Structure 1
Amino acid sequence: MSETGHADATATDIEARAAVPLLLAPPFFMLVCITLCGTFPLHVFIPALPSAAHDLGASTSSIGATITLYVIGLSIGQLVYGPLSDRYGRRPVLLAGLVLFTLASLGAAIAPTLEALEFARVAQAFGGCSGLVLGRAIARDVSGAITLIRRLASLSIAMAAATAIAPVIGALLVEHLGWRAIFFALSAVNATVLLCVWFTVPETRAVSGHHTLARYLAGYARLLRSPAFVSHTLGGASAGTGIYAFLSASPFILESHFGLSGAAFGCAYGVLVVGLACGQTTAKRIAGKVPARTALISSSLIMAAAAASLVVAYAAHEWTVVTVMAPMIVMFYATGLSSPFAISGALDVDASVVGAAAGLYGSLQMGYGAFCTAAAGFWPDNPAVSMIATLALSSAIAWLSFKSAPRPLSAK
């Protein structure tokens, strides 16, 4: 398979490359459910941090480690599930991950100490990230390139919506039932998802039991040597998680500096999610009509324009809620536009290691997001400067990466 031939091929040729008959495609709603298993638990627990800290006698910084450890678990776990699913098949690996997630959620619900909660959160991340990896891999198995972009865009919209409502759900559960109710609810919901997966999600990949550890490592090395994979992954990571710099600095900028209330701060986040969803919707509409490489380069230029606007506003001392939020809405739109095309390009490099590609892409994306989160604090006395610099750097990396992506064969 060509590394880049998917971008400008005709719709008929592209759809003919679906790995399995569409008759075997699982319900798309199930792909949404299993994908959310990875990220939803991250955001739903945030409102419960103060309550859990008080109950367990932990400090604010100590209870915050449950979030950090979860992100680390997501990053590392994705490297494991991808190759395992290439060897043993998607279905058994997914079921095993969901079982671990269900049991770990129950363990977190009854955790008597902070240490027990931290251990349960790591196990929960390792279980939940199976859905994050395999939701994308299964979508690739049953889709041609155009359909894949549209499905990935729909998955991204669902994740964006879940990110917006998860803290609200978490806050309501904490207020009425206590913080442990969050994990009881996650365990119960995921048990239901596990049961539905058992009956509705078939195997979508032929098992390759001959894979060994050496083959896993060789597969990762082959992906990292692929210009198409590296350009799509590096560009996708910088475009997709560069915005973490804003998410990290936003409480200090919007609340501490501008004095926004908690409600106004929540509304600001809601508007950003709308921008993200609009970008993902645009990606769905233009898939198959606009070359993927063109869409990716355009999205990086939109990001760069938004970052430049922030630079100008700050330099001109016109630093207001409007001059911050307007460019960030545009930035989130560009993120939503680029993500489905970048993921599709990375997964379409080598059909023999789709699972490994999905895991490596997700792991590197999370790693870059962690870097951007940390980078926002490089200048603690003025987080706005750190945020702007990180966003500008991310947009530049995205442009260079997408620009260097190999051109499709049909365009040469």
Structure 2
Amino acid sequence: MERFNWKPLLLACLIVSIGQLSLGLVFPSLPWIAQDLQLSADQVQLLVSGYLLGFGPSQLIYGPLSDVFGRRPVLLFGLLIALLGLVLAVTHADTFSWLLAGRFVQGLGAGSVAVLARATMRDSYQNQNLVKAMTWVAIVAAFTPIVAPVIGGMVNHYWGWLAVFILLLVYIAAIWLVLVFTFTETLSHSSRPQSVGKLVFSYFTLLRERHFLSFAGIGWINFSLVVISISLMPFIMQVQIGMSSDQYAFWAMIPAFGMLTGGLLCQRIRPVVGTQKILQLAPLIHLLAGLVLMIAPVSAGWVSAGHFLLAMANGMAFPCAQSMLLVPYGNRAGTVSALSGACQMVSASLISSMLLKSGISQPWHLGVVLLVAAFIGLMLVAVGTKSESGKQAAAALN
């Protein structure tokens, strides 16, 4: 096996943390911002949706640009845009319109991190090392949203909500400096496409390719399950079961450990059984999680057990699906990551909002959703691995 180089992975983990912290750190401050600026709850929530409005669509721009001009200049430029947005937010924090504009600009810049973390992994690692690297990135992406609100809440409590934005500004600026001095270009000049326009047009081609739809679709389904479960669990645990908020904060760590367990399990058994088997096993664990939530009593232990299994399956599926997705697209990894990431956010938003509006509120409702997701996941794995690209990708990763 080729020697594993940790440097690209560590840098990718830093890059991924930017997008996650930009959301999670701000959540605990929203009520205080509303109070100080005399805003309604709906108005202050625009600081979240405004960030996502910039973050999601901008990925579609950064992907093709990075495939043509390289990862390093596009990433550094994107982070500069994010820093500009935070400077606007910090220097005009007393005016909500400027604060909102700053968050939108920050999102525009932060859209680069999700795309380029995956693209640099594809550039830097091959075969089994690619799945190993993707697994650790997925673990960091899972843990950061859990830790971020805790840090944001402490900063807000001791120094006020403006300090949260200052902390983000300092953190991203520090990472930008680290990248300037340590991040070397990962995309070779010989493999770069010549036209950004052709890559943008290739989005339409990708949406007709069975390989892309199958393995990107696995990520979309799994991320939708994450969003739905995160939306439902506070209501189930605090309202139905009767936990206090500090008790729930403890129990909310359980799915993070589920994701970690899934990632470590994937690292251990994937070299033995192969990537395809892991992708087939993950929906079966989702099926088991669904049955637990449907049949078991509504108690903190059983509900958390179902959530743990859900997260564990995600920890196994995410890195394997992403690796299978990117293997055939070496010179277009940025474009493919961009389209996959943007569609992931859109699909998760649409699916979760549709299901939540339909009235799902009980653990067994989530269980039914998991059963349907498991069936779809198994179908996507079967379709993807039967394609010629899927067979080649599976052979390359095993």
**TM-score of the alignment, normalized to the shorter chain, above 0.5:** yes
Matched, 1:337 2:339: no
Matched, 1:66 2:47: yes
* 1:211 corresponding residue in structure 2: 195
Return the match for 1:91 from 57, 72, 83.
72
Post-superposition CA distance 1:67-96 (Å, at most 9, x none): 223233322121111111001110100000
Could you tell me the TM-score, scaled by structure 1's length? 0.88
TM-superposed deviation, 1:43: 0.9
Q: Compared with structure 1, are the counterparts of its residues 219 and 183 closer, same or farther at alpha carbon in structure 2 (3 Å cutoff)?
A: same
User: C-alpha distance in 1, partners of 2:64/2:194?
Assistant: 12
How many correspondences in the alignment? Answer: 387
Q: Which moved more, 1:376-385 or 1:183-192?
A: 376-385
Deviation string, structure 1 residues 178-205 (Cα, Å, up to 9, x no partner): 1111111111111111111011111111
Aligned counterparts, 1:307-326, within 5 A = 307-313=290-296, 318-326=297-305
Amino acid at match of 1:262: S
Letter in 1 for 2:298: W
Whether the aligned pair in 2 keeps the contact of 1:26 and 1:200 (CA below 8 Å) is: no
Partner residue, 1:356: 335
Alpha-carbon shift at residue 387 of structure 1 (Å): 3.5
For 2:52, the aligned partner's letter is V
1:236 aligns with 2:219: yes
Which digits, 9 at most, give the CA deviation of each residue in 1:215-257, with x for residues without a partner? 0233223322221211111012112331211111122211111
5+ residue gaps, structure 1, are 1-10, 16-21
Contact 2:210 2:384 in 1 (8 A): yes
Check the 8 A contact 1:82/1:356 in 2, yes or no.
yes
CA RMSD of aligned residues (A): 2.1
Residues 1:145 and 2:127 are matched in the alignment: yes
Unpaired runs of 5+ residues, structure 2, are none
Structure 2 counterpart of 1:5: none
> 1:319 is paired with a residue of what secondary structure?
coil
**Compared CA separation, residues 32 and 397, structure 1 to 2 (3 A):** same
Give 2:353's aligned residue: 374
Give the distance between the partners of 1:267 and 1:161, measured in 2 at CA. 14
Among 155, 168, 182, the alignment partner of 1:200 is 182
Which residue does 1:6 correspond to in 2? none
Please say if residues 26 and 202 of structure 1, whose CA atoms lie closer than 8 Å, have aligned partners that are also in contact: no
Report 1:34-183 matches (<5 A). Answer: 34-110=15-91, 111-183=93-165
In terms of fraction of residues, the more helix-rich structure is 2
Establish whether residue 276 from structure 1 lines up as the match of residue 264 from structure 2.
no
Deviation at 1:277, TM superposition (A): 0.9
Query: What is the CA–CA distance in structure 1 between the aligned matches of 2:364 and 2:94, rounded to whole Å?
Result: 41
Cα 1:393/1:63, change in 2 over 3 Å = farther
CA drift at 1:305: 1.8
CA change 1:73–1:389 in 2 (3 A) is: farther
Query: Who is 1:18 aligned against?
Result: none
Partners of 2:180 and 2:360 in 1: CA distance: 52
Whether contact under 8 Å (1:377, 1:386) holds in the other structure is no
Counterpart of 1:396 in structure 2 is 375
Aligned residue type for 1:100: I
Q: Secondary structure at the match of 1:242?
A: helix
Please identify, of 194-203 and 104-113, the stretch whose mean Cα deviation from structure 2 is larger: 104-113
CA contact (8 A) 2:66 2:74 kept: yes
The answer to whether 1:263 aligns with 2:254 is no
Cα drift, residue 328 of structure 1: 1.1
Give the deviation of 1:212 after TM superposition. Answer: 3.5
Q: Which one is further off, 121-130 or 109-118?
A: 109-118
Asked if the contact 1:238/1:395 (under 8 Å) is kept, the reply is: no
SS at match of 1:243: helix
Greater relative contact order (Cα < 8 A, sep 6+): 1
1:286 equivalent in alignment to 2:269: yes
Contact residue 95 and residue 198 of structure 1 kept, 8 A: yes
**TM-score of the aligned structures, taking structure 2 as reference length:** 0.91
Q: Which residue of 1 aligns with 2:171?
A: 189
